[in-house]
Structure 1
């Protein structure tokens, strides 16, 4: 969920009233509004484009070139779907924030809820990937029977993750709403999409519950699982003399390092903002909080672009599929432009590609 709104993120009811110690002068939280608009227009738009292309490539690979033969493959496909959900919703969020939420209340709830579902599902699925790699490498002998029914368990776990993500996002759907809030120092108003409440007790509870759940389930829990699993994997891999396994250690370190670098700053900023919710705040502190959330949130968004690189295309098999996709797209483009062959030949390209790739590569898409 995006908490870096400039209008009323500290008011109890969502009516624009803020509890700042103004130091005998009005507090203008919109000083960085122009910077925020530029970040949304350029940085967030770039994240949308790169994230869309990367995750679409993963989905196309599984749809036409590679069957999901391991639990990690099943998880990777669902991570790509979750990230795709986010990068599709983000442009609409950007448009509405820059145009006074012109699409109405239901779109407000839908977009905020979609982002919340993406957050929980993606983070939990990344934890599932690390757990599956731990079972496959550290507990290889004990896991044979469990991994024999790969698709059944993989789909069951993914379904559970999606249901849990929807359940955790219910407060986001319920309490986000479109309403008029005071804009800037003047008497004008602007439409915003944010948490709105009818009772002060509900406001205090939900404004602590939502970010606390997001930090606990959407960051700290996956982080603990990843650190434990990948630490055990590194110890196991270092005990072998296989050069390929040692290269996989670097991949593991990169996965954990990027996860921490992208999500730790935002969660620290969110923790500080939540801890200060019911304290009297000075204007300078409020401005710093808004700026910190804006910068760190953008960094967290970047992770959806890096997931395909870290979890999919870092593997040799997936890179081969990616190259095959580029070759097929080039061939299809030439056939479309020059019209030398019929559409029936076009369909044969995908069939032959799927057969040739599936027949030559049977390993897991993940490097380890």
Structure 2
């Protein structure tokens, strides 16, 4: 997780004897930590509650209909729900860190940091896979691009595509697993990625750029191109399907706009901080505090996509809504059958008990 740096380095980029222990002489950010200690736990709690509910429903429906023919989009959505859930599981740790500092040890620091990066990136890449599958499904007369993609993205290769996505996200989370550490700054323990001094600026900058490319720009480019092709295909539908066509186009526009609204601010701040780490753009303490608060706000906004994914990519789909209704109906039928069986068993026991009582014990109003 991209935690705020507690102190601002006023030293020149070429300084070689600078260390984290020197930060206390530069820019104290107690007010930034106080803001994070109140704001982040509230946001993370809301995201955790909503995200767990929505993504659990997606997985439950997917598992319930395991015998039916699943599309690749269904599989991508299920993997995305798993990634969202694993990402949400890390939020209580970061909420505790924002409030009390990191008191959970080095192994958990490495594991939680890597898990956060891997699953956040995996969610974004799976969004691109969903848009590719919808694009291929909408092409009535596929061109050479569609034919080339359809050879790779097929039902037989679906598990390979998902494995490649998880592998790419895992590689991106490997630096967090290797370099995350716990250090004490201003009497407070912090979990962050601390690179070797010889690679600190270059490695961190390259990693941030790769994260932006894989986690935002790449998926956004794929989504825009694919959904533009889907819109063109929808416009070729007959006039009598105009109502359904407008609804489908509206859903696609909402999907892209929500992705841009939640992810662009966070990645913009990330790029700015990457440039600052290389070129030292921020030289004032107050400006650094503003950037840190902006990073906290925009990253919290980006996390809300975990809660919106089940709504945007599942509940808005007619097939998924149909599966939800079938699952709810099956659950209701099972409960009714169980209740009726319990009632029949109770009646049978009562009849057996009444038949076994001696007639001399019965009176006109009650039983002794």
Q: TM-score, normalised by structure 2?
A: 0.80
Equivalent residue runs for 1:158-177 within 5 Å? 158-177=162-181
Structure with a larger share of its residues in helix: 2
* Higher RCO (CA < 8 A, seq sep 6+): 1
Cα distance in 1, alignment partners of residues 170 and 182 from structure 2 = 21
Q: What's the CA shift for 1:31?
A: 1.4
Q: What's the CA shift for 1:176?
A: 0.9
SS at match of 1:114: helix
Cα distance in 1, alignment partners of residues 284 and 272 from structure 2 = 14
SS at match of 2:156: helix
Correspondent of 2:207 among 207, 210, 219:
210
Cα distance in 2, alignment partners of residues 337 and 18 from structure 1 = 67
Gap change, CA 1:336 and 1:294, over 3 Å in 2? farther
1:195 paired residue number: 193
Equivalent residue runs for 1:80-95 within 5 Å? 80-95=81-96
Q: CA contact under 8 A between 2:87 and 2:116: conserved in structure 1?
A: yes
Cα distance in 1, alignment partners of residues 36 and 338 from structure 2 = 42
Gap change, CA 1:334 and 1:106, over 3 Å in 2? farther
Gap change, CA 1:87 and 1:337, over 3 Å in 2? farther
Cα distance in 1, alignment partners of residues 41 and 216 from structure 2 = 27
Count residues in correspondence. 329
Equivalent residue runs for 1:1-368 within 5 Å? 2-8=1-7, 15-18=20-23, 27-65=27-65, 67=68, 69-138=70-139, 141=142, 146=150, 150-182=154-186, 189-197=187-195, 199-240=196-237, 241=239, 242-243=241-242, 244-278=244-278, 279=280, 281-326=283-328, 340=342
Cα distance in 2, alignment partners of residues 98 and 43 from structure 1 = 13
Q: What's the CA shift for 1:91?
A: 1.3
Q: TM-score, normalised by structure 1?
A: 0.80
> Residue deviations 1:89-110, cap 9 Å, x none?
2112222342321111110010
> Residue deviations 1:203-240, cap 9 Å, x none?
11222122111111111011111111111211221232
> Residue deviations 1:17-55, cap 9 Å, x none?
449xx9xxx633231333322222222101011111111
SS at match of 2:183: strand
Q: CA contact under 8 A between 2:314 and 2:320: conserved in structure 1?
A: yes
Query: Highest Rg: 1 or 2?
Result: 2
Cα distance in 1, alignment partners of residues 41 and 159 from structure 2 = 37
Gaps of 5+ in 2: 11-15, 345-368
